[in-house]
Homo-oligomer: A and B are copies of this chain.
Amino acid sequence: MEIAKKSIKEHRKYRGKFEIHSKMPLQNKRHLSIAYTPGVGAVSSLVAKNPKYVWNVTAKQNMVAVVSDGSAVLGLGNIGPLGALPVMEGKAVLFKRFANIDAVPIVLATQDVDEIISAVKWIAPTFGGINLEDISAPRCFEIETRLIKELDIPVFHDDQHGTAIVVLAALFNALKVAGKNLGKIKIVISGAGAAGTAVAKLLIASGSKNILILDSQGIVAAGRKGLTLEKRELAHLTNRKNIQGDLTAALVGADVFIGVSKPGILKPEMIKTMAARPIIFALANPIPEIMPVDAKKAGAYVVATGRSDFPNQINNSLVFPGFFRGLLDGRIGKVTQGMKLNAASALAGLIKKPSREKILPGAFDKRTVPAIARAVIRSLGRSRS
- Which chain B positions have C-beta within 8 A of A29? 308, 363-364
CB distance from A72 to the nearest CB of B (A): 12
Greatest chain B CB density within 10 A among A15, A79, A125 is at A125
CB distance from A174 to the nearest CB of B (A): 22
Number of copies: 2
Q: A15-B61, A109-B122 are in contact. Are A93 and B48 (CB under 8 A)?
A: no
Q: Are B107 and A126 in touch, CB under 8 angstroms? A: yes
Chain A, interface residues (CB within 8 Å), range: 35 or more
A129 contacts the other chain (Cβ, under 8 Å)?
no
- Which chain B positions have C-beta within 8 A of A58? 11, 16-17, 85-86, 89
Q: Are A62 and B15 in touch, CB under 8 angstroms? A: yes
A37 contacts the other chain (Cβ, under 8 Å)?
yes
Q: Are B16 and A57 in touch, CB under 8 angstroms? A: yes
A277 contacts the other chain (Cβ, under 8 Å)?
no
Tell me the nearest residue of chain B to A98, going by C-beta. B26
A204 contacts the other chain (Cβ, under 8 Å)?
no
CA distance A118 to B21 in the complex (A): 28
Tell me the nearest residue of chain B to A86, going by C-beta. B43
CA distance A377 to B40 in the complex (A): 33
Selecting from A1-9, A160-168, A191-199, A349-357, the interface stretch reads A1-9
- Which chain B positions have C-beta within 8 A of A57? 8, 11-12, 15-16, 86
A205 contacts the other chain (Cβ, under 8 Å)?
no
Which A residues, 66 to 97, have Cβ-Cβ distances below 8 Å to chain B?
A: 73-76, 79-87, 89-97
Cβ-neighbour of A47 out of B22, B85, B94 (below 8 A): B85
A-B contact pairs, 5 of them (CB 8 A): A16-B59, A40-B74, A60-B85, A107-B125, A109-B122
7 closest A-B pairs by CB: A7-B39, A16-B59, A48-B83, A4-B42, A48-B79, A22-B93, A11-B57
Further 16 A-B residue pairs, CB within 8 A, beyond A17-B59, A18-B59? A10-B34, A11-B57, A16-B61, A19-B96, A19-B102, A21-B96, A35-B90, A35-B93, A41-B74, A45-B79, A51-B83, A81-B125, A107-B125, A109-B121, A115-B118, A119-B122
